[in-house]
Every structure is written in structure tokens, then in C-alpha cells.
Structure 1
Amino acid sequence: MDVKEAMSIGGLEKGEIVAGNKGVNRPVRAVEVMEVPDTTSWLTEGLLIVTTFYAIKDNPEAQINFFQTLIKEKGAGLVIKPGRFIKNLPEEMYRLANQNNMPLITVPNDVVYGDILTPLYEELYKERSADLGYYQVLASILDTTDQDLNHIVNRLEDYLGNPVYIEDTKTRLLAASQEKLNDDWRRSYFLLTKASSGFQRFINNPETLEKLKHGKCPVKVGREEQRESRVIFPIRDNNQLLGFITVIEKNQPLEEENDALLQQVASHLSLLLIKDRFSSQAQQSLEREFVNDLIEGNILPGELEHRAAGLGIHSHHASFFLTLNYQSYLQEHAEEQDVRSQDPFVLQQIKTIVQPLFEKTMIFFKRNQLYLFCSVPSEKDVSQAVKEKGHQMIERINQAFHFPFNLGIGRVYCDLNDVYRSYEKAQLVLKIGRDVWGTGQAVHFDQLGVYRFLMKLRNDSETLQYAHDLLRPLLDYDRKNLQSQLVKSLKVYLQTNGNVTKASELLFVHRSTLKYRLKKIQDITHMDLDDSEMRLQFQVAFKLLSMHSDSSF
């Protein structure tokens, strides 16, 4: 609030600026009454004084000295009620007011202090509350070490009262606040899903791009029938566009006074996005090197505890590996040429989900799969605790990305020297778990059951040859007759314990079609599927081959 605004509030509306009119833009930060002579010690910048000069009514020199001190301390102005105790002010005060652009204001004698003070106090309180909220939300974003983008958009939503989301330059969603709005420009709020084609066309319009790359103001988009109005703030590093903050004006218009806040947040986000891409590479490199050496057995005796401690890993804690089928995610998004550019963001989001569950987490890519090395305090039933947290983890990841990731959880080891075994087991669990338990599941090594015994045979050449010999004729037939699907039909039939009705439903074929296929299988293999022993041979063959990386089954 400045003096000009103050003159339109409460009792000051009846006031008049009799000198120092050019100072109406001085900020008013506080209002005080002065009726005692010894007050100059507490005069401060932005202070508006209200007085009758009663204490110094007969001392013009003291009046002038007081006014000079107010000018020196950069006060807001002086409000005087002349008439009752003081008839006329010294001419020198008028001269000083005009010379220093210090407003000298008079109000009628019938205006009481309360008419002036109460409305001004209320207005100052509102401003300070607003400023406090501004700085609190800004501090909570800029001063935090938490790099979770969802934290940022939720704090913005709390402050602005509208939905907020962050997108990259391809309009892929990086974060969205709790309140969401589906309209013509965005219908999905799952991570990395793109905005609707209408928004993509708008963003890629040369005029819009020019404003976002070089403009000083945000881009404002009006409301239409199927689209809510919104304000788009660019996230950029110099003139390189990194993404956008979008505020949907669902509940109320975005006040222009909030532009500065959002621009500061955008600057902060540019640093975060660049940091996610580059700054953490050194730490990730150290972690990746440690994990690779751990897996390959390249750590010399006596070095393990020292290197682990340097990365915050306690050697006496329980450790294990997790793996996600990230390769399936890449295949699903293969049409996006730059899908791998999102690897750092995916890593950061998954790490954000996992960190609250496990004490220490390292995340890395290896052969297009995503692995996590985790460490937790050793305690009773630690394997069961890890299993439960693994289910929580996969549920949260699948909800965030809207993709049925599978999670393989390796065995938990209390000795770092043995944890390399967990890496191999996590890979195996991922492969078997997807085949046996289906997509979107978390499977722990301990759940494998009979597969744990078959593991010892999975690389035995004679056993594998037997399994291949049993199923090869069916695979050869399928290759020659592309619509036959004998191998798949047999596998589903066995998984449903020989239930033709259920198996045909899962295969989306008629019962008679499946019966024909089963008859064909028996003719080719000379195996009776009504014989439980023969069905067991097929089941074992499928299980063995599902564990073999070179298998086509």
C-alpha cells in the first residue's frame, strides 16, 4: 500500500494532501499515533504518523525538527488534525514537504483516530498476510532440498487455489497437483503422458514458441467451450526452452501479482531439470561403478566395507537387488524417437517413490533394464518386510506411470559379500514372475516355489534338450501355420489346470476351436493331454524354458 491508496481508505478519504503531493507513491508499511515529544527514536522507513502535535503545539521548532527526522528516516508521511490544538503549521514544514516529496496531510477535526487507524491496520494486515504466504510458499520451494516436482506443484496449488502442472517441451507430464481438470487440452494425468493434440499444436505454433522462448510475460489462453482458461509460464535456461508451468484458472483468475512468484519458481525448476540431467552424474557414476564391481566380484578383500561406507551403505545391514522391466516400457513407447531422453526423469521419479520405503537406494540402467540396489537395517522377518514394501512400490510406480511394470525382488542377504547373488535372482524372478503371475506384479524370490529347484537345471544341456525336443514340433508347426497358436494354447490350457472353458475365454476363441487345437497337439506330439503325467512333462518343459534367456517359449 502507498500513500495514494491510503488516502482512499477510512478516515483519510476526508483528508487532503496540502504539501509534498509528489510523494504519493511512498510505501506505507506501518501507521502510528504520535502525541508525546520523545518519539523520534522509533521513526522508521515507511511509517505514516498521525498526530495533533499536542505535546509540541506551542513549539514550532520542535514540530519542524520532528518533520525533518521523519524525512531523514524515509517515513511515509505526516497526518495532522489542525484546529483544536494547532491552528497553523510552520511555513518551513510546507517547504520541506515539497522539497523532499514528503506528503503532509490534514484531516478534519471531527475525524477520530479510530476512523483512520482501524481500516489502515486491516489493510496492512491483509498485505502482510499475503506477503507472508508468498514468501512462505517461495521459501518452501526454493529453500528445500526436496527435488520432488509434485511437492512443488502441490505447494503452488495450495497458494494459488488452482490446479497446476509441469510439462516438458514435448508436452509430456512431469508433475500434477492434487486437483486436476480434464479438458480438450489435457485428458490424462499419468506421468509422461502427452497433452492433447490441440495443446501440442498451440505450443508448437511459431508465435507461441517465440513468446515462450523470449517473452517477458507468461502466455495467457482464454476460456472456450471445451477448454478452461490457463496461464503458461516458460521454464527456460537462457533461451533454451525446457518445459512449462501451467496454471488452470478453474476456481479463480490468476492474479498478475503472482507472476513474479511463478517466474521465480520457473527459474528454480530450470536448475532442477538441468541438475537432474547433469549435476548428479558424478554421484550416479560412483554408485554404478560400485554396484558393477559388486556384481562382477571386482572389489578386493578389505575394500568392500570402505567403499560401501563412502556411499552411505552399512555393511551390517541387509541388502538386495530389485529389477523393473524397463525394456518393456521402452518397447511400448518405441514410436517416440526421444523416449530415452526421459531416462533421468524416470530415474528421479522412481527414486522418489522408493526412497521412503528403503533406507538406502541406488538406481541404475544395465542392458536396457532398470535395477535398484537397496539396503535396510537387519531385523527379524526382513524378507517379509521387503516383500510387502515391494508390493507398495510397484503399486505406486504403476499408478504414476500408467504402465504395468513388473518387479523382481532378489533374495535378501545380510553379508555384502553375498549380495551379488541377489542381482542374478532378481533378473530370474522378473522373467519367471511375468510369465507365471502376469503383468503389473511384484514377485519375491521366495515365492518361486518349485521354480527354485528347476533353477539348478535351467542350464543343464541334456535337460534343456529334452524340453526343446518336447515342444519343438509345436513351435515348428506354428511357424508354418501362423494362425495355429498351438504353443500358446497349450500353455494357457495347462495354466488353467485343463479347464477348456476357462482357457478358451483367456485365448478369446470358441471352445470348439481350442478342442481342435488340443487334438492337433496330441497328434503332433503323440502325448495324451488327459494323462496327468504327460501334462506334467509339458508343464516342466515350459517352466524350464521360461527361465532360459535364449528360449522362444
Structure 2
Amino acid sequence: MLPDKLTDRAYAAADLGPPALRLASTGTLTYGLSVGEVLGVSTLKGARLIGGRSGLDRIVQRLNVMEVPDILAWVKPNELLLTTGYPLRNTPQALENLVADLDERGLSALAVKLGRYLDGLPPQMIEQADRLGFPLILLPGDVGFDDILNQVLTDILNRQAAVLARTEEVHRALVQIVLGGGGLQEVVDEVAALLEVAVVAMDGDRRMLAGSGPEDQLQAMLDWDGPEHASGPVLSGRHLMVPVLAGGFDHGRIIAHRPAGGLRETDVVGILERAATVAALLITKQQAVAAVESKYRADFLRDVLAGRAGEDDGIIAHCAGFGWDLDRPMAVLVAELDDRGAEGRGRGEPAGGGARSARGRGDDERMVQERLAQAWTTVVRRHDRRGAVVSFAHEVVAIVGAGGPGGDGPAGSAAPDPAVLVKEATAVFCEPHGQRRTFSTGISRTVTSPAGLPEAYEQAVKAVRVGRQMHGAGARAHFDQLGVYRLLSLVSDPAELHVFVRETLGELATDDDPEAVDLRRTLQVLLDTNLNVAETARQLHFHYNTLRYRIGKLERMLGPFTEDAHLRLNLTLALHVLRMRGI
């Protein structure tokens, strides 16, 4: 007979109704009867546990009979293996390693009937079972394997049927919530009530979308360091997580938390998985609506920035419906991803690799662009709730309060500082996923009405592109700080600028000759120091006479620039154009 302690434990587990839930070796959840529950069925009332007591919570999903020597090739994980010892009757030494071999293959327990082929089990086998937590069971001689198979499998099937019936009932209840106009919060509330646990729904960035339960338990779920991606339910301690999947995309997760533990298998297949399905429906619906609204807002703002949206009063009224305030001093900020050509070739076709690789790069580029738009939306809402943020194909445009009162930040009515917006947007964009991409930002002058926004937008576009050329990736440039580069950027024909450079610098206009590049560097420093020979020699680490020789050579190539102020101006402009190469 089983010891009282084991019998109590087995029947206590059986009285739970649905089978216990445990993590498989893959980290996902399995369902079935625990070994302790199996030992509680009537056909095994005379069974005796002789080893591996710590493994009574192992899950039994199937049964198998070992009556051939090569059984190890046929066993499967989560099996209860039954045997009379017939295959091992002539090789008793094989018993010593049998437990380790079965445990390695993920079996749940081994049940042996002694007397006919084996008189007993070696002590080493029992010690190994205790060490591995692998239940080793002695079966009564009068019970047939067919009786055990029939009763245990019947219990598993009956419980699965009960689970399916309950899940279908829960599913109908959750769908009724949606059909009645309820949202994700109502679904979470219903799940929390059914399970009597705290529940939270989170997006892919682990931000809470809806939660129900005590604040400390909600925070515990938000702080839980669960798996980044999972294709199925995951149980870890007091947390039970189910991913929200739809259309091949991971939309987030639903987590249940019970401080005392004891989450059961029906909490997953019965409620949480159904809730995840309904949540996926709600989230994809919200995303579809948001996408349409976002496109509508973007199309209207594009018309505003192109100067074809109508009169100011109509624009102001229309934008007020979006929550935007354009009736105040404003500045336009344009953010563009750097290295677009290298990463995704956003504006044109990919360099090669076929349609499949081109589509993959395009998808990656869109995802990065969406992250950039989300980062700017988050930051602008934080500092100026009446500001506008939209994402175009290759840039994110923000219109925020500027030039004094007009902002709507949490600290008061002061307009947001563009430098602060750029810094925080960079942090939000980069930190969550270790994003290595950078973006450059251009800032316009302040305008006081929607009529000035088209010009301000063009200023911001020029600032971001000129700023990137001057300062590299991650640049932040204000249109008013571009100086002479702002004037040069107004030249609509880049070819004309290159002709001017070649005519002015002659042999120094290209990078083909290292000596020409070195002389151009000398010319640049001379002009920067206002022809101060001593200072130029110091900066370039030249001897004074060496620099004099170089100045003479430059004048023979370019003309008497040390005496001709107009020539010096032309040379300075040509060098500036070279720094703006690519514009």
C-alpha cells in the first residue's frame, strides 16, 4: 500500500479538478496528470513509491509498455513507462543505468511489476531515482497493464474534455464583451474575476495596456523578467504568461499573477489563451483604426505643409479636432534616419539580392521608421500635448509651440526646448532594443500662423540635410544657425556649385591627388586664421619657412589670394561647398 502521506498528496492533487501545470524542458507548458495524481487512481491503490519522491509533480501525458530490449528508441517525453522487467531479465546490470537513460529522454516515471522476471531492483537504481527526482514505482502483482492504461488514459481524456467545455464557455463570454462594445480593460477585468488573480495586458515593449488587480501585483508583473518571445504559454513561479499573437506578429502578452502560486493548467488553455485570442482581435482592430486615422492626419498635415489646405481659420479648426493647436507661435522639426541607403535604401530600389531580400530590408526599414515616429510622439506628448507629430515615408515631422508661451508641458506654459526634445527622442528611440540607428534633426524658424508652416517645413528639411553634411550622423541643426551654408543650400542646381568649385580651386577641387588634399588643408587653415602665418604653422605643425613655401605654391595655383579679398571670399565659399558634398 502507499504511505498515507503519498495517498493524501495524490488525492489532494486529484481533487483540484483539472490536471496540474508544469514547465517542460523547453520552457513551455505541458498538461496532463501529475505522477501523484496517477498514483491516486483506484487501479494503483496498492502501488508503492520506492524512489524519486521529489518528482511526484512530473506530468504524465501518455503511457507505454516496455517489453522489448530496445524500448529507449521508442519512448517519448512525459510518458509513464510500465514494465515487468522481461527485456532485462538476462541483463540485470542494465537496470543501474535505466533510470538515468529514461530521465534524459524526459519520461515522467517508471512502474515495475516484480515477481515473474525480476525479484527486486538494485539499490543503485533506487539511489539514482532519488538523486534525479525520477519516480520509481512498484506495481501490485494482481493489477493488469490494460486496467492501468484504460483508467489513466480515460482520466486524461475526461479532464481534457472538461477543459474544452470550460474554455468554450469562457470564449463565448469574452466575445460577448467585445460584441457589447467592451475593450481590452473589460476583458482583463473579466479574466481577473474568473481566475481570482491579478492580470495585466502589455504590448511588445512591455508597456501596460490594461490591468486589473492590486497595484503592487500589477507592478510585479511589469517588473517580471519573462522571456522576450514565446510561441506558447510560459509558467514561472507565480507568473503565468500567454503571448498575444496575430497574423504572424507578436502584439504583446497577458500575464496572470497569484502571490501564493497555484496557477493551474485551465488558467492557460481555459481562460488566458482565450483571452489572448480576444486581445489579439482588439489590438489588431485598434491598430487598423489607428492606421487609418494616422494616414488621415498625415495626409491633412501634408496638405498644410504644401500650402494647399485652405485658409488659416479652417486649418486651425480642423487640426483642433486632432488635438493639435496651430493658433500660436510654432516651430517645425524634421527628423530623418541616417544611413538610409546602406540599411534599407528607403527612397529607391535595393542594391541587389533579389525580391525576397529587398522585401526584407524594406520591412526592417519600415519598422525602424515606425519606432522613430513612436519615439517622437512619446516625447512631444510629454512636453507639448497640443503638438502635432506625423510620419511621412522618409521623415517624421513635429510641430510644437515655440518662441515663448504656447507650449503645454507639465512644468507650465513655456515652449519646449528643441534640444531637449531631440535628446529625449534619441533616448526613447535607442534604449529599449539597443537600436544602433541614428537620426538627424532640423529645426525651422518660428512662425505664428498656419500660412507660415510651408516655409518653416522647407527650412527644417534644409536644416536636417545641411546639418548632417556639416556634423555627420545624429546632427541637430537650426535653420538660423546654418550661416553661409543656408545661402549655399538655396542654390537649386548642385551642378552649378560644382562648376564654381572647379573654377575656383582648380587642381585642389578633387581628392585624387594626396598632395592636392594636403595643400587644400593648408589653404583652409590659412583662411580660418585670417592669413596669420605663425598661427597656421603652429596648427599644422610646419616650420615657418615651410609654410611660406606652401603659400607661394598656392598663389601660383590659385592667384594672389593674400592680397585679393574677393579671391579669398571665393576660395572660402568653394571650400564650404566641398564640405557640403552630396547636397
Length-normalised TM-score, structure 1: 0.48
| TM-score, normalising length: structure 2 | 0.46
